[in-house]
Structure 1
Amino acid sequence: MSASPQLDQEYLAQRQLKRGSAGWLLLAGLGVSYVISGDFAGWNFGIAEAGWGGFVIAAGLMGLMYFTLVLSLAEMSAAIPAAGGGYSFARQAMGPVGGYITGLAVLIEYAIAPAAIVIFIGSAVESLLGFNGPVVYAIFYAVFIGIHLAGVGEALKVMMVISGLAVLAILGTAVALIGDFNAELLFDIAPTDAAGASEFLPFGWYGVWAALPFAMWLFLAVEGVPLAAEEAKNPAKDVPKGIIGAMIFLLFTAALVVFILAGITGSEALGSSAVPLVDALNAAGNPQLATLVNVLALAGLIASFFSIIYGYSRLVFALSRAGYLPQSLSLTNKRKVPARALIIPGIFGFLASLSGEGDLMLTMAVVGATVSYALMALSHILLRVKQPELPRPYKTPGGVFTSGIALVLALVALTGVYAFDPRAFFYTIGLFIIGAAYFFLHSRNKLIATTAEEEFNLLAAAEADLEAGK
């Protein structure tokens, strides 16, 4: 789509987000909110695959992968502050095809994850109130999409409150349990005859490999902070501070739950627990706090559900505005909210939730995530090599060595999904094939610009015309 300035101006006028809505603290809160439900459940199943020692190794590797990726994203988000996040970085580095494949990988992650989370929310509601099912899923999708439609500032403030309650539950649990910690319980799983098996690694090195997807659940989706770049007050400073701050805090909460809970319930029991914080509090003789944490665990699930809906809407908005997806999806309303990008993926997510297979969908989301991580890390390397002159308000410590670590570990994590669940791996590859077919057969001829730089310049010029005409 090449056009006259009038068409450019009109096109952008219908596709504007509300700028200046979020400072770095709100962005850090967004990053924590994306992830916080992972501290409450899911990660602990990795202990059943690897034992406590094997899971600690897996979590350490995935923590390193996310930290190096976050440092790489901080640089790119400051240099290219666009709502597409990783898609925008990859398009700048690898052109339209690389940008689309990266965006598709993130979209698979962000579209599938809320469907899985709402199934877990339904289970939590059932344990508290005694009912569950499609009506519960529909209510949660409708209510939280509705809050997003009210405006980004309002939505992010609600999200901060919900996330704060979830964080309070984790910190309160850690304080209540620390006095009952028993290190001997960390190693109560008997060693098997697997290669490399020991008391520390009861399932050997294969167990570490299979536990990688569960270790990712402690950090999954923090990479979505740059999706808010166009709504930040000062993107070049706020996005790097926000995403790095969120990652440091998430490393802290991950260490709390991994180290303390197994020393209360024992690793064997923890590896099969549906509610690890609650079970640990009950094991320590604190049922009143366990009941409260059970309620606040629902807040953690809601926080991640709510914030990932925000993330997929901004990604769909960016992909649509660029022409990769139908351009009607990037239309914004009077509150400068991309309503269709919120509602239509939400309908698909609700339909997916009807399958009831939350674990399968989470694993599929991890496949999309690991592919996107590898491509985003590669984008950082290529941008350093191909565009050394690109203004970089923030520079990644260690440069391409840091992003190289993220690239290698992302590829290792991708193979870990295959080791755990080949079905999820191949289902997700099927989604990539469908998405790629749509691009090559249709949308590659609909792009509004041939390069990312051209697209950004076109949008910047059109926005300047709009501001001048006010």
Structure 2
Amino acid sequence: MAGSTVNEDYLAKRQLKRGTAGWLLLAGLGVSYVISGDFAGWNFGIAEAGWGGFAIAAVLMAIMYFTLVLALAEMSAAIPAAGGGYSFARQAMGPAGGYLTGLAVLIEYALAPAAIVIFIGAAVEELLGFNGPIVYAVFYALFIGIHLAGVGEALKVMMVISDLAVFAILATAVALIGDFDVANLFDIEPTDALGASTFLPLGFYGIWAALPFGMWLFLAVEGVPLAAEEAKNPARDVPKGIIGAMIFLLGTAVLVVVLLAGAAGAKAIGDSGVPLVTALKDTDSQTLATVVNVLGLAGLIASFFSIIYGYSRLVFALSRAGYLPKFMSLTSRRKAPTWALVVPGVLGFIVSLSGAGDLILGMAVVGATLSYALMALSHILLRVKQPALARPYRTPGGMVTSGIALVLSLIALTGVYAFDPRAFGYTIVLFVLGAAYFFVFSRHHLVAQTAEEEFALLAQAESDLDEYESGG
């Protein structure tokens, strides 16, 4: 029987290590995904819009992410699968909708590490005096190797690195409080743009162009549900983990956006490649600036490390379902998805050789906003189509909450075009090519035609494996 063959010979070889992550470790994963965004990148939004314009953009993106996180918390508790947003969309919109959502997330998660490793190379050059492909290759090889050792070990290493990065942000905030001056937030001269003022020196257009930079303060927190199959109690731990991470990140975002510009001036922060270090140097905290410069590398490493984890779980889920080549979901004796870690890592390394970190990150943001719109839509459709679905956690505000996330994600998508039309255009081409792969080839090779069928097969395979391991 085909189902039995898939059950015994296929899914049994594609098992992740269950019960390795509680809610606190999952919250740490969410913070780790994002933390490098607090160190650099977001501040260029001040150059696009002035402090006031960027503050508006950041608040809008914070609302988008918070409402999306609340919707994801419900869906991750109801559908605890390693595919995260892909799994939710497949349940709501079928194989095509699931794949297109997964493809958008994959663009984000495959390209983001390539951009981050370029920034890591720049930080290594500043600290040690060398950079280039060798640095990129070493970081990819080292951290993929740690992930291959097993998820428990990888997540613990990630927590230590993230803690160092968080310490740097908190220490910087404490050092800058005494130098804060509201006038410093508005030291950019108003232009003649429509709506320009002291508060909005680059006018209304600046707010639109700054939206992608507001996203950098929270980008990739949506990846927490990718760890659902490895959580101790997915229905409880994933919602607590992703909401906890989001609340923490809201706090760090307020600290860096307000205190850095308020201490060193909006113009200086908007032009800086290392805003925390710039703010500390401009306020004569030279020693701490050196320490934070080193720990800034820890922030980049934390995000690089954790997003590798995220893309591996997504590729694993897409491959296991038959959307991507099936060998990519094979797991090792340590229950690590070997090829799902290695293949995107090799491709990411090749992309990183371009050195175009800003362009690559812009493309990752386009993939992210597309996926957010599809995930928010999935929440709405699941509420309409499957009202009886068991929901251990329910989104406050229901479809209104996910509707807000949907609208804001579409607005954010246009914001990327306002800032960098190249990144927008290249990503749409990549998305169309990926969609063509599905409609021409992979839709004919799916393991199961519905999400429910795949999850049932997976549950049976896990039950069989448990019986085997217990001697039954």
What is the TM-score when the length of structure 2 is the normalising length? 0.99
**Structure 2 CA distance, aligned partners of 1:426 and 1:234?**
41
Write out per-residue CA displacement over residues 225-260 of structure 1, whole angstroms, 9 at most, x where no aligned residue.
Answer: 000000000000000000000000000000000000
Q: Is the 1:44–1:270 contact (alpha carbons within 8 Å) kept by the matching residues of 2?
A: yes
Paired residues, what number?
469
Tell me what 1:404 maps to: 403
Deviation at 1:437, TM superposition (A): 1.1
**Structure 2 CA distance, aligned partners of 1:280 and 1:61?**
25
Tell me what 1:433 maps to: 432
Deviation at 1:463, TM superposition (A): 2.0
Tell me what 1:333 maps to: 332
Tell me what 1:350 maps to: 349
Structure 1 stretches of at least 4 aligned residues deviating more than 3 Å after TM superposition: none
Deviation at 1:182, TM superposition (A): 1.2
**Structure 1 CA distance, aligned partners of 2:332 and 2:427?**
33
Tell me what 1:262 maps to: 261
Please, which moves more after superposition, 435-444 or 158-167?
435-444
**Structure 2 CA distance, aligned partners of 1:279 and 1:462?**
54
**Structure 2 CA distance, aligned partners of 1:201 and 1:4?**
61
Which amino acid counterpart does residue 460 of structure 2 have in structure 1?
Answer: A
Write out per-residue CA displacement over residues 60-112 of structure 1, whole angstroms, 9 at most, x where no aligned residue.
Answer: 00000000000000000000000000000000000000000000000000000
**Structure 2 CA distance, aligned partners of 1:464 and 1:261?**
53
Cα distance 1:6–1:449, how it changes in 2: closer, same or farther (>3 A)?
closer
Tell me what 2:173 maps to: 174
**Structure 1 CA distance, aligned partners of 2:226 and 2:391?**
18
Deviation at 1:454, TM superposition (A): 1.0
**Structure 2 CA distance, aligned partners of 1:447 and 1:193?**
56
Tell me what 2:149 maps to: 150
**Structure 1 CA distance, aligned partners of 2:3 and 2:171?**
59
Q: Is the 2:3–2:457 contact (alpha carbons within 8 Å) kept by the matching residues of 1?
A: no
**Structure 1 CA distance, aligned partners of 2:256 and 2:377?**
32
Which amino acid counterpart does residue 204 of structure 1 have in structure 2?
Answer: G
Deviation at 1:4, TM superposition (A): 4.1
Which amino acid counterpart does residue 387 of structure 1 have in structure 2?
Answer: Q
Q: Is the 2:115–2:357 contact (alpha carbons within 8 Å) kept by the matching residues of 1?
A: yes
Q: Is the 2:83–2:317 contact (alpha carbons within 8 Å) kept by the matching residues of 1?
A: yes
Q: Is the 1:378–1:404 contact (alpha carbons within 8 Å) kept by the matching residues of 2?
A: yes
Which amino acid counterpart does residue 269 of structure 2 have in structure 1?
Answer: L
Which amino acid counterpart does residue 427 of structure 1 have in structure 2?
Answer: Y
Deviation at 1:3, TM superposition (A): 1.2
Tell me what 1:457 maps to: 456
Deviation at 1:467, TM superposition (A): 2.3
Tell me what 1:444 maps to: 443
Which amino acid counterpart does residue 277 of structure 2 have in structure 1?
Answer: V
**Structure 1 CA distance, aligned partners of 2:274 and 2:4?**
56
3-state DSSP of counterpart to 1:88:
helix
Deviation at 1:414, TM superposition (A): 0.2
Which amino acid counterpart does residue 131 of structure 1 have in structure 2?
Answer: F
Please, which moves more after superposition, 291-300 or 8-17?
8-17
The correspondence of residues 295-444 of structure 1 with structure 2, limited to 5 A, is 295-444=294-443
3-state DSSP of counterpart to 2:35:
helix
What is the TM-score when the length of structure 1 is the normalising length? 0.99
The correspondence of residues 52-71 of structure 1 with structure 2, limited to 5 A, is 52-71=51-70
Write out per-residue CA displacement over residues 119-167 of structure 1, whole angstroms, 9 at most, x where no aligned residue.
Answer: 0000000000000000000000000000000000000000000000000
Deviation at 1:10, TM superposition (A): 1.8
Q: Is the 1:5–1:462 contact (alpha carbons within 8 Å) kept by the matching residues of 2?
A: no
Q: Is the 1:80–1:88 contact (alpha carbons within 8 Å) kept by the matching residues of 2?
A: yes
Please, which moves more after superposition, 143-152 or 261-270?
261-270
1:19 equivalent to 2:18? Answer yes
**Structure 1 CA distance, aligned partners of 2:239 and 2:150?**
23
Percent identity over paired residues: 78
Tell me what 2:225 maps to: 226
Which amino acid counterpart does residue 4 of structure 2 have in structure 1?
Answer: P
**Structure 1 CA distance, aligned partners of 2:27 and 2:465?**
31
3-state DSSP of counterpart to 1:449:
coil
Deviation at 1:6, TM superposition (A): 3.9
Unpaired segments ≥5 residues, structure 2: none
3-state DSSP of counterpart to 2:2:
coil
**Structure 2 CA distance, aligned partners of 1:60 and 1:190?**
23
Which amino acid counterpart does residue 214 of structure 2 have in structure 1?
Answer: A
**Root-mean-square deviation (Å):** 0.7
Tell me what 1:242 maps to: 241
**Structure 2 CA distance, aligned partners of 1:82 and 1:454?**
13
Write out per-residue CA displacement over residues 305-343 of structure 1, whole angstroms, 9 at most, x where no aligned residue.
Answer: 000000000000000000000000000000000010000
Tell me what 1:41 maps to: 40
Q: Is the 2:77–2:391 contact (alpha carbons within 8 Å) kept by the matching residues of 1?
A: yes
Which amino acid counterpart does residue 151 of structure 1 have in structure 2?
Answer: G
3-state DSSP of counterpart to 1:469:
helix
Write out per-residue CA displacement over residues 269-308 of structure 1, whole angstroms, 9 at most, x where no aligned residue.
Answer: 1111000000100011010000000000000000000000
**Structure 2 CA distance, aligned partners of 1:108 and 1:31?**
18
**Structure 1 CA distance, aligned partners of 2:468 and 2:35?**
44
**Structure 2 CA distance, aligned partners of 1:10 and 1:236?**
28
Q: Is the 2:48–2:210 contact (alpha carbons within 8 Å) kept by the matching residues of 1?
A: yes
Which amino acid counterpart does residue 119 of structure 1 have in structure 2?
Answer: I
Deviation at 1:461, TM superposition (A): 1.7
3-state DSSP of counterpart to 1:128:
helix
Q: Is the 1:9–1:463 contact (alpha carbons within 8 Å) kept by the matching residues of 2?
A: no
Tell me what 2:131 maps to: 132
Deviation at 1:468, TM superposition (A): 2.6
Q: Is the 2:261–2:269 contact (alpha carbons within 8 Å) kept by the matching residues of 1?
A: yes
Tell me what 1:185 maps to: 184
Tell me what 1:286 maps to: 285
Cα distance 1:7–1:407, how it changes in 2: closer, same or farther (>3 A)?
closer
Q: Is the 1:166–1:296 contact (alpha carbons within 8 Å) kept by the matching residues of 2?
A: yes
Unpaired segments ≥5 residues, structure 1: none
Q: Is the 1:115–1:350 contact (alpha carbons within 8 Å) kept by the matching residues of 2?
A: yes
**Structure 2 CA distance, aligned partners of 1:297 and 1:376?**
32
Please, which moves more after superposition, 9-18 or 103-112?
9-18
Which amino acid counterpart does residue 190 of structure 2 have in structure 1?
Answer: P
Which amino acid counterpart does residue 229 of structure 1 have in structure 2?
Answer: A
Deviation at 1:265, TM superposition (A): 1.4
Which amino acid counterpart does residue 142 of structure 1 have in structure 2?
Answer: A
